[in-house]
């Protein structure tokens, strides 16, 4: 049972390999992909139970002891993120049956999703900094396939920018890992945490910390490194956009949270202060973008950038309330962004456009869609008792405790900008003059709407049931706040 933590990585990988053998058999592709994701979700639930009852699970591959072998670690933070990612992938695959089109489905679409999930789950679970780079590359290679799938002109143009940015980022990642290894002499993250405290070279460590922030900031889209994200994410079809928007930036955010709490803690006056300033600038830039556009995709995409800023502001405070809030908000954002992208996909399918100015009056023909969207929009903005409220409240509380009054007030004000941006979609698309639409067949509409409704319902339960989730979030925050728990689980008595 100890190897259970490898299953959320091995299962998608194994099934993706099988799917490569018969790309043109669409029904078989759908069945195998769905089975893989249901199995992965089930195994991750069991793993969550194990982590909750027995503490952090760690395994070092091969017969090498830690820190010499490659360690895989499943603590409460990583297992919650793996569970959320698998759930999003499962619902996106279901949504894809009615939306992606058979041409794309027969061209390695489902293997692409499963390989991407392999990389995402691996990045969340690895306890080795170089292995994190390897899993980043796995998910990026899959995302290169998914972003160009279909070969539309806009996709091809944006994919060049997306690939260039990520190739440069990956090269910088390798250089930074090499720099870290030359100073510390180990790649095991628990061992780095132990040895970094023993090395009396805070200047060099601070430089490496800034380089890592640059690498992960490019992937997580923090200010000013988010420039590539809005147009790149808007290019692929809605299911791919939902996957990218819900998961890819979160891997970068997770990497910053993990490294900045586990081992880059020697010079918090500089590193964490800089992280806080960049997170505030990220929120401001995201708010400007979300309010500036009339394209429904771009509005929600800029809200991804706002969320990245909010989560990292919490991580930079380094106190229990703010870190618990960051974990709460990180998982909330995975769920709610997935739901919102699927919902705007339904709106685009009905209206045939993503331009708000060409929409109107949908509430008369699709009332359930309208009210479901409104609940998701309120959840994103953090209206109590929905899921965005708890995380943001804890982050603001942590900010006040750390004495960062203005940053905390800005996060509260950003909620108004978020609410305004998503309510604009509701007002333009669902009210006003009815525009000509192409009504969907009942079966087609249900195939698009049901996965989105389930995701919105889960996000509502996540907010309303937050009292029952506090022990899990508290465990996740305590691992970030007390690196000794992580180190002990990986290295034991070493």
- pLDDT tens per residue, range 261-289: 888 888 888 888 999 999 999 999 999 99
**In the predicted structure, residue 199 carries a pLDDT above the cut 90:** no
Report the alpha-carbon distance of residue 17 to residue 15 in Å, rounded.
Answer: 5
Please provide the average confidence, as pLDDT, over all residues in the chain: 89
- C-alpha distances in Å from residue 310, one per residue of 17, 206, 318, 426, 467: 38, 23, 14, 24, 22
Report the alpha-carbon distance of residue 229 to residue 312 in Å, rounded.
Answer: 18
Share of the chain above pLDDT 70, in %: 99
Report the alpha-carbon distance of residue 66 to residue 382 in Å, rounded.
Answer: 42
**In the predicted structure, residue 443 carries a pLDDT above the cut 70:** yes
- 440 vs 116, higher pLDDT: 116
Report the alpha-carbon distance of residue 313 to residue 402 in Å, rounded.
Answer: 11
Write out pLDDT tens, residues 111-153.
999 999 999 999 999 989 999 999 999 999 999 999 988 778 8
């Amino acid at each position: 049972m100890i190897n259970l933590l490898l299953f959320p990585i091995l299962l998608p990988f194994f099934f993706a390999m099988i799917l490569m053998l018969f790309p043109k058999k669409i029904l078989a592709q759908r069945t195998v992909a769905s089975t893989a994701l249901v199995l992965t979700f089930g195994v991750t639930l069991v793993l969550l139970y194990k982590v909750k009852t027995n503490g952090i699970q760690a395994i070092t591959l091969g017969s090498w002891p830690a820190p010499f072998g490659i360690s895989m670690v499943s603590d409460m933070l990583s297992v919650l993120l793996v569970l959320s990612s698998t759930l999003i992938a499962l619902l996106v695959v279901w949504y894809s049956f009615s939306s992606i089109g058979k041409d794309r489905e027969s061209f390695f679409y489902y293997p692409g999703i499963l390989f991407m999930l392999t990389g995402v789950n691996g990045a969340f679970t690895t306890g080795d900094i170089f292995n994190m780079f390897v899993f980043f590359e796995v998910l990026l290679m899959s995302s290169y396939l998914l972003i160009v799938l279909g070969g539309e002109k806009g996709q091809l143009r944006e994919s060049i920018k997306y690939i260039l940015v990520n190739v440069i980022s990956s090269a910088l990642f390798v250089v930074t890992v090499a720099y870290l290894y030359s100073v510390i002499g180990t790649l095991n993250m628990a061992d780095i945490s132990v040895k970094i405290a023993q090395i009396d070279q805070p200047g060099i460590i601070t430089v490496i910390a800034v380089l890592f922030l640059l690498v992960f900031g490019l992937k997580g889209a923090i200010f000013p490194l988010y420039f590539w994200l809005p147009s790149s994410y808007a290019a692929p079809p809605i299911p791919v956009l939902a996957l990218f928007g819900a998961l890819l930036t979160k891997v970068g955010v997770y990497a910053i949270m993990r490294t900045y709490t586990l081992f880059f803690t020697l010079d918090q006056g500089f590193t964490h202060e800089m992280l806080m300033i960049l997170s505030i600038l990220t929120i401001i830039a995201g708010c400007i973008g979300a309010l500036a556009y009339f394209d429904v995709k771009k509005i929600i995409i800029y809200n991804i950038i706002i969320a990245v800023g909010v989560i990292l502001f919490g991580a930079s405070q380094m106190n229990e309330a703010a870190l618990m809030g960051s974990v709460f908000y990180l998982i909330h954002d995975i769920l709610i962004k997935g739901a919102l992208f699927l919902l705007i996909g339904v709106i685009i399918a009905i209206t045939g456009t993503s331009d708000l100015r060409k929409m109107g009056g949908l509430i008369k023909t699709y009332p359930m869609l309208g009210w479901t969207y409104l609940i998701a929009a309120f959840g994103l903005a953090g209206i109590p008792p929905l899921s965005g409220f708890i995380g943001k409240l804890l982050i603001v509380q942590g900010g006040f405790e750390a004495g960062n009054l203005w940053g905390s007030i800005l996060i509260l004000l950003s909620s108004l900008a978020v609410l305004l941006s998503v309510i604009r979609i509701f007002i333009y698309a669902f009210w006003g003059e009815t525009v000509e639409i192409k009504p969907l067949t009942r079966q087609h509409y249900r195939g698009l709407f049901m996965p989105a409704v389930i995701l919105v319902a889960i996000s509502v339960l996540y907010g309303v049931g937050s009292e029952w989730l506090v022990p899990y979030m508290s465990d996740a925050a305590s691992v970030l706040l007390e690196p000794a728990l992580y180190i002990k689980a990986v290295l034991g008595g070493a």
